[in-house]
Structure 1
Amino acid sequence: MLTRLNISGIYVLDQDQALDFYVGKLGLEVDTDADLGFMRWLTIRVPADPDRKILLERPGAPSMSEDTAAEVRALMTKGAAGGHLFFACEDAYKTHAELKAKGVEVTEEPEDRGYGIDFGLRDPFGNHVRIAQLKEA
């Protein structure tokens, strides 16, 4: 049976630009960066959570044909095919201020939503990112 989720993936149009955003601005770290010949396998992770990784995948082979990949890239460019990432933090207001100082475009300001304080942003490729300071159970 399944024991845990190891890697989740999102599509990005440019893996180097994705590294600049996720590592350079959000503070994640590279887990694996390997040239497999047919694709670049690029995973990142939250430094405090090394067991869960995010694959930053450029749409294309081997998972889809070039025609399909072109359609996915076109939808991403229009903001219609982004994925979702949900991160936790200790202080939403502080994290929000730090990210704005780094030039991250915040789409929703911090707000208390009952389960905690969270805010939203988008990566350069249209993926939705939420960051929350969760209330303790």
Structure 2
Amino acid sequence: MDITIHASFLPSDDPDASLSFYRDALGFEVRHDVSYDGIRWLTVGPAGQPGLSIVLEPPGSDPGVSDEERRMIVEMMAKGTYAGILLSTDDVDATFEKVQASGADVVQEPIDQPYGVRDCAFRDPSGNLIRIQQGP
């Protein structure tokens, strides 16, 4: 069996700000920009990796989510504790400088972690934790 990850989902409460962060700060391609019934979904992904995407969706857009759960999602996003993703780059220090220069919210400057990776962290415009580690 050959299974791959096609897309991950992150909540986005400001599609324009998210677009600017993922496209301009991280250099991702815009794969889809879809609006329906007053709601907007963006699909972005790293250049040269067309089979791997992040869908930036309205928080709690799943019809099975209750109003109370939606409120909880919004509260957790405001604290930056709802969602996150781990990215990899060949040069974490250069990537950090580029993303920081965009005005992104820095959580952690590049550091050598005791578990063997060098990484940094940001929050995207919706509060999602974006960790970036130096890959092989």
TM range (shorter): 0.7 to 0.9
- C-alpha deviation, 1:45, in angstroms: 0.3
Q: Is 1:14 aligned to 2:9, yes or no? A: no
SS in structure 1 of the partner of residue 31 of structure 2? strand
Deviations 1:84-119 (A, max 9, x none): 111111111111122222222221111123533211
Q: Quick one: structure 1 residues 133 and 39, their matched pair in 2 at CA, closer, same or farther if it must change by over 3 Å?
A: same
Deviations 1:17-40 (A, max 9, x none): 111111121211111112233743
- C-alpha deviation, 1:6, in angstroms: 0.9
**Structure 1 spans left out of the alignment, 5+ residues:** none
Does the CA-based 8 Å contact 1:30-1:44 persist in structure 2?
yes
Does the CA-based 8 Å contact 1:38-1:61 persist in structure 2?
no
SS in structure 2 of the partner of residue 87 of structure 1? strand
Question: 1:76, 1:51 → 2: CA distance?
Answer: 27
Bigger mean CA deviation after superposition, 114-123 or 34-43: 34-43
**Residue equivalent to 1:50:** 50
Does the CA-based 8 Å contact 2:13-2:59 persist in structure 1?
yes
SS in structure 1 of the partner of residue 43 of structure 2? strand
Q: Report the RMSD for the aligned CA atoms in angstroms.
A: 2.1
- C-alpha deviation, 1:131, in angstroms: 0.8
How many positions carry a matched residue from both structures? 134
Bigger mean CA deviation after superposition, 12-21 or 60-69: 60-69
Scaled by the length of structure 2, the TM-score of the pair is 0.84
Identical columns (%): 32
- C-alpha deviation, 1:53, in angstroms: 0.7
Scaled by the length of structure 1, the TM-score of the pair is 0.83
**Structure 2 spans left out of the alignment, 5+ residues:** none
Moved segments of 4+, more than 6 Å: none
Bigger mean CA deviation after superposition, 114-123 or 20-29: 114-123
Bigger mean CA deviation after superposition, 7-16 or 72-81: 72-81
